[in-house]
Amino acid sequence: MLLRHTPEEQIERSALTVNPAKTCQPVGAMYAALGIHNCLPHSHGSQGCCAYHRSALTRHYKDPIMATTSSFTEGASVFGGQANLLESIANIFSIYGPDLIAVNTTCLSEVIGDDLTQIVNKAQAEGKIPAGKRVIHANTPSFKGSHVTGFANMTQAMVQYLAESSGTKLRQFNIIPGYVEPSDMAEVKRIAAELGIAAVTFPDTSEVVNSPLDGKFHMYPKGGTKVEAIKSAGDSALTFALGRTASLPAAKLLDTKCKVPFEVLDLPIGLQATDALIDALRKAAGVSVPESLMVERGRVVDLTTDMHQYFFRKKVALVGDPDHLVSLTQFLTDLDMEVVLVVTGTPPGPKFERRIRELAGDGVVVKAGLGTDMFQFHQYVKQLKPDLLFGNTYAKYIARDEDIPLIRIGFPIYDRVGHQYFPIVGYQGAMRLLEKILNALMDRQDRDAPEESFELVM
């Protein structure tokens, strides 16, 4: 009901955010940490912070997310959390037995100024970290960046703590898949396997947060990239960073630390972006594209051609994460849809707006970074009157209020299932997106059709 009071006219706000178009860094850091095999994420802050991060991921994946906390009280808030974290590390290894603890900070520990590097070194010196076990950390203050930033910082920490160079290059490639679903990570790995390429994909949450139900409790599901594989990433021939915002920091550090060159690609959402990934892998590995992938590509082209008249000139508004928005904009414009609005609450870097305008034209409205929120997105939706919205679950209120179909994409999605099992990347993912878009448009056409135009066949 409150949304119906959103005014169409823009109101300048410098100190108020209404429904931010993002969530906080530790959520993304925790998700990235789950992509390491036998890893237990740890939130260095209060119990309430950890509970929120876990519940956000649990609601999205409909799977219990395991994580621990330093359980700050008033004492730790005043004197610092070192004692809490040292005790936590000892207890976690003793009780839960992970191979690795991935510590992320919170607002409280960042404001206090806890030196995580010093604390981890002290835990090592005092023998609280058993032989063969590891503790890594990432600084992820919630008052800056977003869940995508947190994911990027934790992935960068994996390189900082784990990747090593032996001086001997291996015939393998690194793929940093970006902040995508476990189904998307599995699809990227499948594409590499179809090409016959040895790849280290990290982090990898497939078979972790979308693992099967077999009647047994698994503290650590079988998925996730093994520590040894991340260690070997320092000897790889090349790194492919999928998505500039989520993957570039880790790729840059891997280049600086281990002299592994990198190539930045868009998330492989849609035809052109998937073509670019496969072509880059093909050239780097010196292989040919197999017939199986050519068949998948042909199906995308076929469906696009058959249904083009339903996509043509439909206006679309997007809200979500920067890496998703760039690839989606390219895909939708390739379908001859008109992207009129692109909004993200994540600080995307200076190249984001320029890239969106290159793809969608100068007429597109682009709002990004600090102060951008769903209230602003709603105001522009009222002005531009798109035919279709793309966004997470929070966009459903705007979709209902403005009577516009919504394609759910990104994080979080609390009110639907499928995102953890079915990819939106690659040619298979493009087919799924095309189906979702067409079904939304066809449902709306059927709903609004008069009796004489209510057709059996499209």
Which residue from 290, 285, 35, 255 is spatially nearest to 173, judged by alpha carbons? 285
Which of 50, 107, 340, 364 does the annotation list as catalytic? Answer: 107
Which residue from 247, 240, 254, 228 is spatially nearest to 285, judged by alpha carbons? 240
Tokens of 236: 């790889």
Q: How far is Cα 189 from Cα 175, in angstroms, rounded to an integer?
A: 9
Element containing residue 200 per DSSP (H, E) = strand 199-201
Instruction: Give the 3-state secondary structure of 285-349.
Output: HCCCCCHHHHHHHHHHHHHHHHCHHHHCCCEEEEECCHHHHHHHHHHHHHCCCEEEEEEECCCCC
Q: How far is Cα 282 from Cα 41, in angstroms, rounded to an integer?
A: 35
**Contact between residue 63 and residue 97 where contact means Cβ atoms under 8 Å apart:** no
Which of 111, 295, 301, 417 does the annotation list as catalytic? Answer: 111
Chain center to CA of 381: 24
Q: How far is Cα 183 from Cα 189, in angstroms, rounded to an integer?
A: 10
**Contact between residue 395 and residue 319 where contact means Cβ atoms under 8 Å apart:** yes
343 counts as catalytic:
no
Element containing residue 389 per DSSP (H, E) = strand 388-391
Residue 350, preceding peptide bond in cis (omega within 30° of 0):
no
Q: How far is Cα 398 from Cα 264, in angstroms, rounded to an integer?
A: 34
Q: How far is Cα 39 from Cα 161, in angstroms, rounded to an integer?
A: 14
Amino acid at 55: S
Residue-wise over 133-145: b if at least 16 C-beta within 10 A, else e?
A: bbbbbbbbbbeeb
107 counts as catalytic:
yes
Which residue from 111, 116, 96, 110 is spatially nearest to 39, judged by alpha carbons? 96
Residue 221, preceding peptide bond in cis (omega within 30° of 0):
no
Cite the active site residues.
107, 111
